[in-house]
Amino acid sequence: MSGVTIAATRLSKSYVGASTVTAVVEASLEIQAGEVVLISGPNGSGKTTLLAMLGGLLQPSSGTVTLDGKDIHALPPRSLPAFRLRHIGFVFQAFRLIEELTARENVELVLEMAGAPDAAHRAAALLEEAGMTRRADRLARNLSSGEKQCLAIARALANDPAVILADEPTGSLDSRAGELAMRLLGAAARTRGKAVVIVSHDPRIEKHAGRVLRMVDGRLC
C-alpha cells in the first residue's frame, strides 16, 4: 500500500472575466495509497476547486494531476468519464444520490455504468460493509442523512477506485453520523488501500486524517 497514487503538480485555476479570480495557486501534493489526507481551510479558500480538479471535473488553468502515472487532464474528453468511473470515487456534502432509486440501485447503477458483472452481488456486499443491508430496498429519499452518506460511500467504493475524493463529507451530518462516515472512509484507506482526500473545515475530521494540509487563499500551506 505504498507509492504515489494521485499527485497534483503546480495546479492553478483562474476564472477570467471582468476581473480575473484565482481560486487555486500552484498547488502541489502527493497522496499515497492507503493514506487519508485532509485539506482544511476556510470557506472560499479554494478547497473544493482543488478537489474538482483532482477528480477531473474541472480543467485546471495550469499544472497537472496524475493518477497512477496518468495525466488525467491530458486524456481525451470522451474517455475522461470512463476513467473517473473506474479510478475515482466521489463523496459529496449533499450526498448526490438518485432519490428515486433504492439504496441497492444507487450502488448497482455505477457498477452497471462500468459494465461490471455481478452488480447485484457486489452491491449487496458493499451495502453490508456500510451497515446498510437492512435499508437496501429503501428509496434513497427515505433514508436519514447518516444513512445517505454511508450509502454514498458505498457507491464511491463500488468500482474499486484507487482514489476517494470527499467534499465536506460530514457537513450535513450530526456528530454521530459524521463519526460513522469518517470511520467508513478511514476503513476504505486502511483495508482497501484507497487514497482518500477529504476537503473540509470540520475540525472533528482531523483525528481521522493521517496528514492535514491547510489551504488559505488558494494556496496549500
Task: Tell me which residues touch another protein (CB under 8 A).
Answer: 48, 51-52, 55, 57-58, 78, 81-86, 88, 90, 92-94, 96, 98, 100-101, 105, 108-110, 112-114, 155, 167
C-beta of 110 vs 150, nearer to another protein: 110
Q: How far is the CB of 2 from another protein (least distance, A)?
A: 27
Q: Are strands 36-40 and 219-220 parallel, antiparallel or unpaired?
A: unpaired
Report the nearest approach of another protein to the CB of residue 171 (Å): 9
DSSP state of 131: T
CB of 139 to another protein, least distance (A): 9
Residue 101 or 187 with smaller CB distance to another protein: 101
Neighbours of 163 (CB within 10 A): 22
Q: With CA atoms as reference, report the closest residue to 4 among 34, 27, 24, 25.
A: 34
The phi and psi torsions of 148 (rounded to 5 degrees) equal: -60, -40
184 vs 50, 91, 164, 191, 200, CA distance in Å? 23, 12, 12, 10, 16
Q: Which is nearer to another protein, 88 or 205 (CB)?
A: 88
Cβ neighbors of 53 (< 8 A, separation 6 or more) are: 8, 11, 13, 24, 59, 60, 65, 73
**Nearest CB to another protein, comparing residues 94 and 216:** 94
Strands 62-67 and 70-71: antiparallel
CB of 112 or CB of 160, closer to another protein:
112
Cα–Cα distance for residue pair 135/103, rounded to 1 Å: 7
* Least Cβ distance, residue 3 to another protein (angstroms): 24
- As measured in angstroms, the least distance from the Cβ of 84 to another protein is 4
Mutual orientation of helices 175-192 and 145-157 as an angle, nearest 10°?
A: 10
Instruction: Identify which of residues 26 and 112 has a Cβ nearer to another protein in the complex.
Output: 112
CB of 127 to another protein, least distance (A): 14
